[in-house]
Amino acid sequence: MRKVLLTVCMAVLLVGPAVHAADMTDLMKALPAIPSGGSAQDSGTVASGLKEALSVGTKNAVGVLSKANGYFGNEAVKILLPENVRRVGDALRMAGYQKEVDAFVLSMNRAAEKAAPKAADIFAGAIQSMSVDDAQKILNGGNTAATEYFKSKTSSKLFDAFKPDISQSMNEVGVTKAYKAMTDRYTTMMPFAKMDSFDLDKYVTDKSLDGLFYMVGQEEAKIRTNPAARTTELLKKVFAK
Protein backbone atom coordinates (compact mmCIF):
# COMPACT_ATOMS: atom_id res chain seq x y z
CA MET A 1 0.00 0.00 0.00
CA ARG A 2 2.89 2.42 0.81
CA LYS A 3 4.39 1.77 -2.63
CA VAL A 4 1.06 2.61 -4.29
CA LEU A 5 0.72 5.86 -2.36
CA LEU A 6 4.33 6.81 -3.05
CA THR A 7 3.82 6.23 -6.77
CA VAL A 8 0.71 8.44 -6.77
CA CYS A 9 2.50 11.23 -4.95
CA MET A 10 5.45 11.12 -7.32
CA ALA A 11 3.12 11.27 -10.30
CA VAL A 12 1.37 14.33 -8.93
CA LEU A 13 4.65 16.11 -8.24
CA LEU A 14 5.95 15.40 -11.73
CA VAL A 15 2.79 16.50 -13.53
CA GLY A 16 2.45 19.61 -11.39
CA PRO A 17 -0.36 22.16 -11.49
CA ALA A 18 -1.65 20.79 -14.80
CA VAL A 19 -3.50 18.08 -12.91
CA HIS A 20 -7.11 19.17 -12.47
CA ALA A 21 -9.17 18.50 -9.32
CA ALA A 22 -11.46 16.12 -11.23
CA ASP A 23 -8.47 14.08 -12.40
CA MET A 24 -7.19 13.85 -8.82
CA THR A 25 -10.55 12.61 -7.61
CA ASP A 26 -10.61 9.88 -10.23
CA LEU A 27 -7.09 8.88 -9.34
CA MET A 28 -7.90 8.59 -5.62
CA LYS A 29 -10.98 6.52 -6.39
CA ALA A 30 -8.78 4.02 -8.18
CA LEU A 31 -6.71 3.37 -5.04
CA PRO A 32 -7.44 0.24 -2.98
CA ALA A 33 -9.62 0.85 0.07
CA ILE A 34 -7.71 1.06 3.33
CA PRO A 35 -9.29 -1.10 6.05
CA SER A 36 -10.32 0.93 9.08
CA GLY A 37 -8.04 0.02 11.98
CA GLY A 38 -6.70 -2.90 9.98
CA SER A 39 -9.41 -5.20 11.35
CA ALA A 40 -11.66 -5.70 8.33
CA GLN A 41 -12.63 -9.31 7.75
CA ASP A 42 -12.68 -10.91 4.34
CA SER A 43 -16.01 -12.27 3.17
CA GLY A 44 -14.79 -15.86 3.29
CA THR A 45 -13.98 -15.54 6.98
CA VAL A 46 -17.39 -14.01 7.69
CA ALA A 47 -19.19 -16.82 5.86
CA SER A 48 -17.14 -19.50 7.58
CA GLY A 49 -17.70 -17.90 10.96
CA LEU A 50 -21.46 -17.71 10.54
CA LYS A 51 -21.66 -21.27 9.30
CA GLU A 52 -19.67 -22.39 12.29
CA ALA A 53 -21.94 -20.38 14.60
CA LEU A 54 -25.02 -22.05 13.13
CA SER A 55 -23.35 -25.44 13.28
CA VAL A 56 -22.54 -24.96 16.96
CA GLY A 57 -25.99 -23.55 17.66
CA THR A 58 -27.93 -26.30 15.93
CA LYS A 59 -25.85 -29.06 17.52
CA ASN A 60 -26.40 -27.58 20.96
CA ALA A 61 -30.11 -27.07 20.34
CA VAL A 62 -30.64 -30.58 19.01
CA GLY A 63 -28.57 -32.03 21.83
CA VAL A 64 -30.63 -30.29 24.51
CA LEU A 65 -34.00 -31.12 22.96
CA SER A 66 -33.09 -34.76 22.31
CA LYS A 67 -32.63 -35.50 26.00
CA ALA A 68 -35.40 -36.74 28.25
CA ASN A 69 -37.58 -33.75 29.12
CA GLY A 70 -35.79 -31.67 26.48
CA TYR A 71 -39.20 -30.42 25.35
CA PHE A 72 -41.37 -31.47 28.26
CA GLY A 73 -39.16 -29.87 30.90
CA ASN A 74 -38.66 -26.56 29.10
CA GLU A 75 -41.65 -24.22 29.37
CA ALA A 76 -40.41 -22.18 26.41
CA VAL A 77 -40.77 -25.11 23.98
CA LYS A 78 -43.08 -27.55 25.77
CA ILE A 79 -45.83 -28.82 23.47
CA LEU A 80 -49.20 -28.15 25.07
CA LEU A 81 -52.70 -29.25 24.17
CA PRO A 82 -53.83 -28.02 20.75
CA GLU A 83 -56.11 -25.01 21.07
CA ASN A 84 -59.16 -26.83 19.72
CA VAL A 85 -58.66 -29.66 22.24
CA ARG A 86 -58.14 -27.52 25.33
CA ARG A 87 -61.82 -27.45 26.23
CA VAL A 88 -61.71 -31.25 26.22
CA GLY A 89 -58.69 -31.23 28.49
CA ASP A 90 -60.26 -28.68 30.82
CA ALA A 91 -63.49 -30.71 31.08
CA LEU A 92 -61.58 -33.91 31.82
CA ARG A 93 -59.44 -32.26 34.47
CA MET A 94 -62.54 -30.91 36.20
CA ALA A 95 -64.06 -34.38 36.11
CA GLY A 96 -61.00 -35.90 37.77
CA TYR A 97 -59.25 -37.31 34.69
CA GLN A 98 -56.06 -35.32 34.93
CA LYS A 99 -54.03 -38.47 34.37
CA GLU A 100 -55.36 -38.99 30.83
CA VAL A 101 -54.71 -35.37 29.88
CA ASP A 102 -51.18 -35.41 31.30
CA ALA A 103 -50.40 -38.67 29.51
CA PHE A 104 -51.37 -37.15 26.17
CA VAL A 105 -49.30 -34.00 26.71
CA LEU A 106 -46.30 -36.06 27.81
CA SER A 107 -46.58 -38.35 24.78
CA MET A 108 -46.49 -35.42 22.34
CA ASN A 109 -43.34 -34.08 23.94
CA ARG A 110 -41.71 -37.52 24.03
CA ALA A 111 -42.38 -37.85 20.29
CA ALA A 112 -40.67 -34.51 19.64
CA GLU A 113 -37.68 -35.47 21.81
CA LYS A 114 -37.32 -38.79 20.01
CA ALA A 115 -37.45 -37.17 16.55
CA ALA A 116 -35.21 -34.19 17.34
CA PRO A 117 -31.86 -35.88 16.44
CA LYS A 118 -33.11 -36.37 12.89
CA ALA A 119 -32.92 -32.60 12.37
CA ALA A 120 -29.13 -32.44 12.76
CA ASP A 121 -28.26 -33.55 9.21
CA ILE A 122 -30.98 -31.38 7.69
CA PHE A 123 -29.67 -28.33 9.51
CA ALA A 124 -26.09 -29.15 8.47
CA GLY A 125 -27.00 -29.34 4.78
CA ALA A 126 -28.89 -26.05 4.90
CA ILE A 127 -26.02 -24.29 6.64
CA GLN A 128 -23.60 -25.22 3.86
CA SER A 129 -25.82 -23.57 1.24
CA MET A 130 -25.50 -20.10 2.79
CA SER A 131 -23.91 -17.63 0.36
CA VAL A 132 -21.18 -15.12 1.18
CA ASP A 133 -23.55 -12.20 0.56
CA ASP A 134 -26.12 -13.70 2.90
CA ALA A 135 -23.44 -14.14 5.54
CA GLN A 136 -22.35 -10.50 5.36
CA LYS A 137 -25.94 -9.27 5.75
CA ILE A 138 -26.58 -11.62 8.64
CA LEU A 139 -23.42 -10.58 10.47
CA ASN A 140 -24.74 -7.02 10.63
CA GLY A 141 -28.24 -8.12 11.65
CA GLY A 142 -29.91 -8.68 15.01
CA ASN A 143 -29.05 -11.31 17.58
CA THR A 144 -31.07 -13.99 15.76
CA ALA A 145 -30.66 -12.77 12.16
CA ALA A 146 -28.98 -16.00 11.07
CA THR A 147 -31.68 -18.12 12.67
CA GLU A 148 -34.44 -16.11 11.01
CA TYR A 149 -32.72 -16.40 7.63
CA PHE A 150 -32.21 -20.10 8.21
CA LYS A 151 -35.85 -20.53 9.18
CA SER A 152 -37.15 -18.67 6.13
CA LYS A 153 -35.03 -20.73 3.77
CA THR A 154 -35.51 -24.21 5.23
CA SER A 155 -38.86 -24.44 7.05
CA SER A 156 -40.71 -26.20 4.24
CA LYS A 157 -37.90 -28.65 3.59
CA LEU A 158 -37.51 -29.36 7.29
CA PHE A 159 -41.23 -29.94 7.69
CA ASP A 160 -41.40 -32.38 4.78
CA ALA A 161 -38.39 -34.31 6.05
CA PHE A 162 -39.28 -34.09 9.73
CA LYS A 163 -42.96 -35.07 9.67
CA PRO A 164 -42.43 -38.78 8.86
CA ASP A 165 -40.02 -39.07 11.78
CA ILE A 166 -42.47 -37.30 14.07
CA SER A 167 -45.26 -39.62 12.91
CA GLN A 168 -43.13 -42.68 13.55
CA SER A 169 -42.08 -41.39 16.95
CA MET A 170 -45.70 -40.63 17.82
CA ASN A 171 -46.61 -44.24 17.11
CA GLU A 172 -43.69 -45.52 19.13
CA VAL A 173 -44.43 -43.45 22.23
CA GLY A 174 -48.20 -43.84 21.98
CA VAL A 175 -49.41 -40.34 21.15
CA THR A 176 -52.37 -41.55 19.10
CA LYS A 177 -53.31 -44.07 21.77
CA ALA A 178 -53.12 -41.41 24.48
CA TYR A 179 -55.20 -39.00 22.40
CA LYS A 180 -57.85 -41.66 21.75
CA ALA A 181 -58.00 -42.55 25.43
CA MET A 182 -58.50 -38.91 26.32
CA THR A 183 -61.17 -38.21 23.70
CA ASP A 184 -62.99 -41.48 24.40
CA ARG A 185 -63.23 -40.50 28.05
CA TYR A 186 -64.63 -37.13 26.99
CA THR A 187 -67.27 -38.54 24.62
CA THR A 188 -68.34 -41.01 27.30
CA MET A 189 -68.91 -38.10 29.66
CA MET A 190 -70.54 -35.93 27.01
CA PRO A 191 -72.01 -38.20 24.30
CA PHE A 192 -73.53 -35.34 22.32
CA ALA A 193 -70.45 -33.15 22.34
CA LYS A 194 -68.79 -32.54 18.98
CA MET A 195 -65.07 -33.17 18.63
CA ASP A 196 -63.22 -30.96 16.16
CA SER A 197 -60.99 -32.94 13.83
CA PHE A 198 -57.40 -31.87 13.23
CA ASP A 199 -54.10 -33.20 11.95
CA LEU A 200 -52.28 -34.35 15.07
CA ASP A 201 -49.09 -35.25 13.18
CA LYS A 202 -48.91 -31.78 11.65
CA TYR A 203 -49.54 -30.09 14.99
CA VAL A 204 -46.74 -31.95 16.78
CA THR A 205 -44.37 -31.45 13.83
CA ASP A 206 -45.03 -27.70 13.72
CA LYS A 207 -44.52 -27.34 17.46
CA SER A 208 -41.36 -29.48 17.36
CA LEU A 209 -39.83 -27.26 14.68
CA ASP A 210 -40.90 -24.12 16.53
CA GLY A 211 -38.99 -25.42 19.52
CA LEU A 212 -35.92 -26.23 17.45
CA PHE A 213 -35.76 -22.78 15.89
CA TYR A 214 -36.34 -21.14 19.25
CA MET A 215 -33.42 -23.02 20.79
CA VAL A 216 -31.16 -22.32 17.80
CA GLY A 217 -32.00 -18.63 18.16
CA GLN A 218 -31.07 -18.74 21.81
CA GLU A 219 -27.73 -20.34 20.96
CA GLU A 220 -27.01 -17.77 18.24
CA ALA A 221 -27.81 -14.89 20.59
CA LYS A 222 -25.39 -16.30 23.16
CA ILE A 223 -22.61 -16.57 20.59
CA ARG A 224 -23.18 -12.98 19.49
CA THR A 225 -23.44 -11.43 22.94
CA ASN A 226 -21.53 -13.72 25.30
CA PRO A 227 -17.78 -14.10 24.62
CA ALA A 228 -17.70 -17.28 26.72
CA ALA A 229 -20.05 -18.95 24.22
CA ARG A 230 -17.57 -18.46 21.35
CA THR A 231 -15.87 -21.80 21.71
CA THR A 232 -13.52 -21.61 18.71
CA GLU A 233 -10.94 -19.10 17.47
CA LEU A 234 -12.95 -18.46 14.31
CA LEU A 235 -16.08 -17.56 16.28
CA LYS A 236 -14.05 -15.25 18.50
CA LYS A 237 -12.62 -13.52 15.44
CA VAL A 238 -15.87 -13.08 13.51
CA PHE A 239 -18.06 -12.01 16.42
CA ALA A 240 -15.50 -9.85 18.21
CA LYS A 241 -16.73 -6.27 18.61
The model's pLDDT over 47-56, given as tens digits with 9 standing for 90+, comes to 787 788 788 8
- Residue 222 contacts residue 64 (beta carbons within 8 Å): no
pLDDT of 27 higher than 80:
no
How far apart are alpha carbons 2 and 218 in whole angstroms?
45
Q: How many CA atoms lie within 13 A of 167 on its CB side?
A: 9
- Burial degree of 70 (CB within 10 A; 0-12, 13-18, 19+): buried
Which has the closest alpha carbon to 77: 222, 216, 237, 185? 216
The predicted pLDDT at position 80 comes to 94
Range in 12-16, 23-27, 169-173 the model is least confident about? 23-27
Average pLDDT over residues 9-34: 34
How far apart are alpha carbons 65 and 50 in whole angstroms?
22
Q: What angle do CA 135, 226, 115 make, to 5 degrees?
A: 70
The predicted pLDDT at position 10 comes to 37
Helix (H) or strand (E) holding 176: helix 175-189
Confidence of residue 208 (pLDDT cuts 50, 70, 90): very high
Confidence of residue 194 (pLDDT cuts 50, 70, 90): low
Confidence of residue 196 (pLDDT cuts 50, 70, 90): low
The predicted pLDDT at position 241 comes to 55
How far apart are alpha carbons 34 and 54 in whole angstroms?
30
Sorted by sequence, the CB contacts under 8 Å of residue 61 that are 6+ apart come out as 212, 215, 216, 218, 219
Percent of the chain at pLDDT above 90? Answer: 18
The predicted pLDDT at position 41 comes to 56
Helix (H) or strand (E) holding 113: helix 98-115
The predicted pLDDT at position 222 comes to 82
Give phi and psi for 169, each to the nearest 5. -65, -40
- Tell me the per-residue pLDDT of 35-92, one tens digit each, with 9 for 90 and over: 333 344 577 777 787 788 788 888 999 999 999 999 999 999 999 998 878 887 888 7
Helix (H) or strand (E) holding 182: helix 175-189
The predicted pLDDT at position 35 comes to 36
How far apart are alpha carbons 181 and 219 in whole angstroms?
38
- Please tell me which residue, 79 or 93, carries the higher pLDDT value: 79
Round the average pLDDT of the chain to a whole number and report it.
Answer: 75
Estimate to the nearest angstrom the gap between the alpha carbon of 211 and the chain centroid: 9
How far apart are alpha carbons 185 and 163 in whole angstroms?
28
pLDDT of 212 higher than 70:
yes
